[in-house]
Amino acid sequence: MQLPAWLWIFLIGALVAISCSLVGSFLVLRRMAMLGDAISHAVLPGIALAFLFTGSRSSWIMLFGAAILGVVTAFLVQLLSRGGVRNDAAIGVTFTSLFAFGVILISKYASKVDLDTDCVLYGVIEYAPLNTLTLYGRDWGPVAFWQMLTVTALCLAFVVVLWKELKFVTFDPATAAAMGLSTTAVHYALMGMVSLATVGAFEPVGAILVVAMLVVPPATAYLLTDDLKTMVILACGLGTLAALGGALGAERFNLSTSGLITVMSGFFFILALVLSPRQGVLFKKIAQLRLGREVAREDVLQALFRAREKDAPPPGTAELAHVLHLSEAGALRTLHRLARASLVEAHNGTFMLTPAGSECARDLVHRHRVYESYLSESGYAADHLHEATDRVEHFLSPQLERDIDEAVGNPTQDPHGRNIPHP
């Protein structure tokens, strides 16, 4: 098949991204994201042993040896974790030990043999279109394409067939085990597919890109959705988009394709981290600002209501700022926002509650004093009631407020002897 080199590179990169994202999504959710990194390094002795036993440097034999060591790595990590070793420490100990063992094997027994370990570990995806598959005198395209197409199909079939089991074991392993599901079998099946996806992509793209595709697109998708199916689809789509951007960018600017694909994935992650409506830094900051404004609004209304209860003059901006721990500018901004909402009105240099503001403030003071009554009956000391209530009251729903009021017997006075206003 005659296609431009950059298109073959994109197709191979996209297949790597999809296969890795399919299994990597479950690694991220199970907090085992770095297991792919461990497998990618720990397979070096598998490459060396495959050569020593067969004397062949065939890619398929090397990949078979690497796949076996990948499963062994997952087994050893699980064994150490169950033995009381922290999971991150178990991963670190396993992959460094096996990687070092592979280095020793190569330096001792195969130092003069080109096993192309650099290619396996780092990969050169730009060379993938040069190694083509020829059958019946016809060029069928790069071997790496068909290799990754096979791996992707196997990963997709695995996820589709074991979807319910993977979902159950990932989110509630204790219940899954109690219901008779073999969590160990599902775990090792997943680890086997991670090993397959990892070692299958070694020769065409290398370990660095494989680890990135196992972790970064699923982590990005995790920031964007709470639905598992959507997360997996998003991860595959983001990985494919990164492969497209990397292939086109590398072709245009003569850069490392694997490196650029990884950078593109990282760029998407940063965008999601900042702009995600669910967990994005920007939207969290906006939500915090809105909450702060709402808390200040409610506190100012209550302060004005309490002053009127005592027949005291309305507190000025400086007094409100001091009592409510706001800056004077913040207190003044809050008063102006309340004025625009017709809840307060300016009067002789101060602000007073309007009828609508009085009704709103009465409800807020009712909520505050009812919750103080609830805490008092729960055993809170009288001098801690206001502070504890102030931290919680802004998050009470109307229904919960009614339930608390009924639970304490619809009191007419709070623990400090002040009347509780009722609607």
**CATH number of the domain enclosing 381:** 1.10.10.10
Instruction: Please check whether residues 302 and 367 belong to one and the same domain.
Output: yes
Q: Which of 276, 301, 331 is the last residue of a domain?
A: 276
Q: What pTM did the predictor assign? A: 0.81
Same domain, 228 and 327: no
Q: Is residue 372 part of a domain?
A: yes
Residue 412 located in a structural domain: no
Domain final residue, candidates 276, 301, 329: 276
* Same domain flag for 300 and 261: no
Based on the domain organization, do 178 and 292 belong to the same domain? no
Domain of 324, in residue numbers: 283-407
* Domain identity same for 52 and 177: yes
Q: How many CB atoms lie within 10 A of CB 303?
A: 19
Same domain, 143 and 238: yes
Last residue of a domain, one of 276, 293, 308: 276
Q: Is residue 102 part of a domain?
A: yes
In a domain, 74, yes or no: yes
Same domain for 321 and 244: no
Each residue's pLDDT, cut to its tens digit, for the chain (423 residues) gives 678 889 999 999 999 999 999 999 999 998 888 887 787 777 778 877 887 888 776 666 777 777 788 788 888 888 888 888 888 888 888 888 888 888 788 777 666 555 455 555 556 788 888 888 888 878 888 988 998 999 999 999 999 999 999 999 999 988 888 888 888 889 888 888 888 888 788 777 777 788 889 999 999 999 999 999 999 999 999 999 999 999 999 988 988 888 899 999 999 999 999 999 878 899 999 999 999 999 999 999 999 999 999 888 888 888 888 878 888 898 999 999 999 999 999 888 789 999 999 999 999 999 999 999 999 998 888 888 888 898 899 999 999 999 999 999 999 998 888 899 876
Distances (CA, A) of 220 to 53, 228, 235, 282, 410: 42, 13, 7, 15, 49
Tell whether 354 is covered by a domain. yes
In a domain, 86, yes or no: yes
One domain for residues 252 and 296: no
Same domain, 260 and 290: no
Say how far residue 207 (Cα) sits from the centre of its chain.
Answer: 22
Query: The domain spanning residue 122 has which CATH number?
Result: 1.10.3470.10
Do 225 and 342 have their domain in common? no
What are 105's two structure tokens? 């094997």
Q: With CA atoms as reference, report the closest residue to 267 among 236, 226, 233, 239.
A: 239
104 & 73 share domain: yes
Residue 416 lies in a domain: no
User: Looking at the 3D structure of the chain, how many domains does it have?
Assistant: 2
Question: Could you tell me if 302 and 368 are in contact, meaning their C-beta atoms sit under 8 angstroms apart?
Answer: yes
Please give the Cα distance from 222 to 241 (Å, whole number).
17
In a domain, 418, yes or no: no
Residue 76, number of CB atoms within 10 A of its CB:
19
140, 257: one domain: yes
Chain-centre distance for alpha carbon 46:
32
